[in-house]
C-alpha cells in the first residue's frame, strides 16, 4: 500500500518551520498514542505513521532528500536508508518534546548542573539617629563556604570523584516505557555525572562547611524602615562553580522615646503649662541636631502644630530634608497647693461672669448639643 505524503500526515505545509513542525507532531502524537487509545489498532497505526513522518522531516538531510525524491529518497531498500537512527531517533525527538514540556530543554549527553547560590537576608536594627545621619555597622552572617580541607570537591584529600556508574558520567538516564523514551536527571549523582566513593571528613562529601562571615555595612543617611541594602555576591556560594547569591540587609528602626517618623517628617508632642498656653511665651523643643526655641502665641490650644522646616530626616534619594512637627499638649496642673486652688477658683469665678467670651469652643459645643436634642 502506498504511503501518504509526510507533510499531509502531519497536517503542515511544505515550507513549515521546525518549531511548527514539532508542535504539529506533538499534538498528533498525544492524540493517537496507544496508551490513550488502548486496543485501538487504527490509532496505533496512525501513531506509527505520525512518528515516521516526524523522524524524516525533523532531520534536515532526510527532509531535503524527501523533498527531492519523495519516499524513495528515504526508503532504506532504495539505498538512501534511514541510517542507524531508527527507533532511537524517534525517542530522541520525543524526549526533546518532553524536555520542552518539563523544562529539560532536550539536552543530550548530561548536564553541568551549575546553579547560582541562594540569596540571604539579614535583619539589621538601627536607631533613628543612625537612620537620619547614616552609619557603618559590622555584621556577622552565617554562610556556607567551600571546604578548606578538600577544596570544595567533597572528596577526601588524596582521592577524587569517579564517573557515576548509573549514568556513565552523562548526568542523565533514559527511561523507556512503551513508545516513550524520556531523559531525566540521574537519581544517583543528581546530574553531576560523578560520585564520591571516599567523602571528605570535614564536609561529609558536600564540599561546603558552615562558617560565620564578617561584613561591613554602610547605612546611607535617610534610610527608612523596611528598606533593603543589596550586597552582591555575599550570599550562599554557587554549586559546581555557579555564581554566589546576594545578601539583602533589611533595615528595622527602633522606636524612639521622643520622635515618631512619617516619611521624611518627624513628629513629637510638647507639653506646655496652662499659663504658657493662655499668656504665651517661649519654650525649648528637641530636634535631632539639638535644642531649638519656638514662640508660643497667647491663647494657644491643645493640638496646635508648630512646623520647623528642614528639621526632619534627609531623603535617602533626593537629600532634601523633611520637617519637624511639634504638637502642643496643654497640661492640666496636678498636686495643687491650697493657694493655687484658691487662685484658680478666683480665676474661674471671674471667667464665668463672661463665659461665652472666654470659652468660645465650649459655647459652640453646647449650641450643637442643644440643636441635637431639639
Report the range of poorest mean pLDDT among 44-58, 92-106, 135-149, 313-327.
92-106
- The CATH number of the domain covering residues in 6-102: 1.10.287.110
Per-residue pLDDT at 77: 53
Task: Give the Å distances, CA to CA, from 307 to 100, 301, 304, 324.
Answer: 63, 15, 10, 6
Nearest to 2 by CA among 94, 70, 54: 70
CA atoms within 13 A on the CB side of 122: 25
Per-residue pLDDT at 372: 60
Grid coordinates belonging to 333: 496642673
Each residue's pLDDT tens digit, 68-119: 777 777 776 544 333 333 334 444 444 444 444 444 443 334 445 567 888 8
Report the range of poorest mean pLDDT among 15-29, 111-125, 214-228, 270-284.
111-125
CA atoms within 13 A on the CB side of 259: 24
Per-residue pLDDT at 71: 77
Structure pTM?
A: 0.56
3-state secondary structure string across 263-315: CCEEEEEEEEEHHHHHHCEEEEEEECCEEEEEEECCCCCCCCEEEECCCCCEC
The answer for residues whose C-beta is within 8 angstroms of residue 145's C-beta and 6 or more apart is: 208, 209, 211, 213, 237
- The reply to whether 6-102 and 256-334 are identical in fold is no
**Mean predicted confidence (pLDDT) in 164-170:** 80
pLDDT of 347 above 80? yes
What are residue 163's DSSP bridge partners? 194
Nearest to 284 by CA among 326, 322, 332, 321: 326
* Matching CATH number, 120-161+196-253, of 2.170.190.11, 2.60.260.20, 2.40.110.10, 3.30.465.10: 2.60.260.20
For residues 199 and 157, give the distance between their C-alpha atoms in angstroms, rounded to a whole number: 9
Per-residue pLDDT at 79: 42
Most confident of 71-85, 194-208, 324-338: 324-338
Q: Residue 285: is it exposed, middle or buried by C-beta count within 10 angstroms (0-12/13-18/19+)?
A: middle
Nearest to 172 by CA among 111, 256, 101, 216: 111
Each residue's pLDDT tens digit, 214-231: 899 999 999 999 999 999
- Comparing 7 with 98, the larger pLDDT belongs to 7
Per-residue pLDDT at 90: 41
pLDDT-based confidence at 1, cuts 50/70/90? low
244, containing H or E segment: none
pLDDT of 323 above 50? yes
Residue ranges covered by each domain of the chain: 6-102, 120-161+196-253, 256-334, 341-374
Per-residue pLDDT at 283: 92
Per-residue pLDDT at 250: 94
Q: Compute the C-alpha angle 319/323/324, nearest 5°.
A: 135
Task: Give the distance from CA 45 to its chain's centroid.
Answer: 50
Nearest to 265 by CA among 219, 327, 321, 317: 321
Mean pLDDT of the chain: 81
Give the CATH superfamily of 256-334. Urease metallochaperone UreE, N-terminal domain (2.60.260.20)
Per-residue pLDDT at 206: 78
- Three-class DSSP category at 258: coil
Amino acid at each position: 500500500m502506498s504511503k501518504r505524503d509526510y507533510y499531509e500526515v502531519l497536517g503542515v505545509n511544505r515550507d513549515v518551520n521546525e518549531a511548527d513542525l514539532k508542535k504539529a507532531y506533538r499534538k498528533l502524537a498525544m492524540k493517537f498514542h496507544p496508551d490513550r487509545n488502548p486496543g485501538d489498532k487504527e490509532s496505533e497505526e496512525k501513531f506509527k505513521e505520525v512518528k515516521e513522518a516526524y523522524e524524516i522531516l525533523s532531520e534536515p538531510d532526510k527532509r531535503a532528500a524527501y523533498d527531492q525524491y519523495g519516499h524513495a529518497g528515504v526508503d532504506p531498500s532504495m539505498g538512501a536508508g534511514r541510517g542507524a537512527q531508527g527507533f532511537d531517533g524517534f525517542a530522541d525527538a520525543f524526549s526533546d518534546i518532553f524536555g520542552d514540556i518539563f523544562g529539560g530543554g532536550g539536552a543530550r549527553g548530561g548536564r553541568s548542573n551549575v546553579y547560582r547560590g541562594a540569596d540571604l537576608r539579614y535583619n539589621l536594627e538601627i536607631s533613628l539617629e543612625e537612620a537620619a545621619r547614616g552609619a557603618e555597622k559590622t555584621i556577622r552572617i552565617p554562610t556556607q563556604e567551600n571546604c578548606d580541607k578538600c577544596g570544595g570537591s567533597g572528596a577526601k584529600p588524596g582521592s577524587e570523584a569517579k564517573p557515576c556508574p548509573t549514568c556513565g558520567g552523562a548526568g542523565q538516564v533514559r527511561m523507556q516505557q512503551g513508545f516513550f523514551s524520556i531523559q531525566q536527571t540521574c537519581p544517583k549523582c543528581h546530574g553531576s555525572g560523578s560520585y564520591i566513593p571516599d567523602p571528605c571528613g570535614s564536609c561529609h562529601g558536600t564540599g561546603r562547611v558552615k562558617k560565620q562571615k564578617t561584613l561591613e555595612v554602610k547605612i546611607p543617611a535617610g534610610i527608612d524602615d523596611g528598606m533593603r541594602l543589596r550586597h552582591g555576591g555575599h550570599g550562599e556560594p554557587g554549586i559546581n562553580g555557579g555564581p554566589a547569591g546576594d545578601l539583602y540587609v533589611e533595615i528595622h528602626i527602633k522606636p524612639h522615646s521622643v520622635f515618631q517618623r512619617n516619611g521624611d517628617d518627624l513628629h513629637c508632642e510638647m507639653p506646655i503649662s496652662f499659663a504658657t498656653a493662655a499668656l504665651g511665651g517661649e519654650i525649648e523643643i528637641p530636634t535631632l541636631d539639638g535644642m531649638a526655641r519656638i514662640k508660643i502665641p497667647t491663647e494657644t490650644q491643645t493640638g496646635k502644630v508648630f512646623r520647623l522646616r528642614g528639621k526632619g530626616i534627609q531623603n535617602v534619594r533626593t537629600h532634601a530634608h523633611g520637617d519637624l512637627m511639634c504638637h502642643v499638649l496643654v497640661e492640666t496642673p496636678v498636686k495643687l497647693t491650697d493657694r493655687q486652688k484658691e487662685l484658680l477658683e478666683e480665676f474661674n469665678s471671674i471667667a464665668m461672669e463672661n463665659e461665652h467670651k472666654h470659652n468660645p469652643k465650649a459655647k459652640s459645643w453646647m449650641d450643637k448639643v442643644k440643636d441635637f436634642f431639639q
